[in-house]
A and B are shown apart, each in its own frame.
Chain A
Amino acid sequence: MLAAIRPDSWSFPLLLHVLGASVLVGGLVVAVAAQFLGWRRPDDADAFGRVAFRALLFVAFPAWWVMRVGGQWIYSKEGLDELDPEPDWVGVGFVTADFGGLLLLVSIVLAGLGVRGQKSVLGRIATVLAAIVLVAYLVATWAMTAKPD
């Protein structure tokens, strides 16, 4: 029951948005979990660093695009772009999506450099950034569903 009954034409963009967001969260969870295990077991840090990098690059990054494109599509379908002023929850969604996307990109680069150069400090920074993005997206999920004004 993701939302109240709505016109059929809104459903596909909403499906894309929700599917992208949920897979994005999944990719971030895998990356953060792998890096966390790597921190706890330094002998396995390289292997878990590779898992984290792949989760960010091959799961979270494409999912971010699906979430963002679906979000923009449903935004115009619902006519939210014609509202003045825009509801607060829409602003929260845009800020977390775009700023989170930037942080995600930085974390992918750092995780990749960490794996390539076997520099665990870069992997750790990437983990912290990915964890921040994950928390931000959970807050955004609250804003999207609860729609506080």
Chain B
Amino acid sequence: MPVSRYDWLLFLHVLAAFSLVAAEVLFSFIILGSRNLDVPSDVARIFRLSRFGDVLVNAGAIGVLVFGIWLAIDVDEYQIWDGWIIAALVLWALFAEVGRRVGRIYNPARDRARALVAENRNEPSAELNAILRSKAGLVLQAASVVVVLLFLIDMIYKPGA
């Protein structure tokens, strides 16, 4: 049996979802791994991983949205206004906003660490560590993980379908 357009769209949609989850794992690793760091070069080092996360999260977020909507249009059983699809779109928007807020907390720490390294000031920095131990950052990252989990639950259970 040849692979249909639906099958390809589904594969690309799932691949994008995996990319999103991989980014979540990576950012969680960075955030948890950097909490006990205060030496600027150590902080700058662990944040090098975030470049991979940025690519994964952007590709994943765009991919799930584009291929998800394409599937909703392509498959007769689904409509874009179905409750579970609207819920997924709301969760997508929530994920984007929470991710933006997480970035607003941790990107300054990354940039400060890089600046200190560039200035050859590599002594432990309490200021840097205070940002990395941010409770708000941790809570927002946990919220981001929960949103992705809700996304998966919504996709699989399809409430109301």
CB 8 Å contact bits of B60-101 with A (1 = contact, 0 = none): 000000001001100101100000000000000000000000
B residues 4-33 in Cβ contact with A at 8 Å? 7-8, 10-11, 13-15, 17-18, 21-26, 29, 33
Interface residue SS majority, chain A: helix
Q: By the criterion CB–CB under 8 Å, are B15 and A29 in contact?
A: no
Q: Does A55 have its Cβ within 8 Å of any Cβ on chain B?
A: yes
Known: A2-B14, A5-B77, A11-B157. A34 touches B49 (CB 8 A): yes
Give the size of the chain A interface in residues (CB under 8 angstroms).
37
Taking Cβ atoms with an 8 Å cutoff, the residues of B that contact A are 1-3, 7-8, 10-11, 13-15, 17-18, 21-26, 29, 33, 42, 45-46, 48-49, 52, 56, 68, 71-72, 75, 77-78, 149, 152-153, 155-158, 161
- Sample of 25 A–B contacts (CB below 8 Å): A1-B71, A1-B72, A2-B10, A2-B14, A4-B77, A11-B156, A14-B156, A15-B157, A19-B149, A22-B17, A25-B18, A25-B21, A26-B18, A29-B22, A30-B26, A30-B29, A33-B49, A47-B46, A51-B49, A55-B25, A138-B15, A141-B15, A142-B11, A145-B7, A145-B10
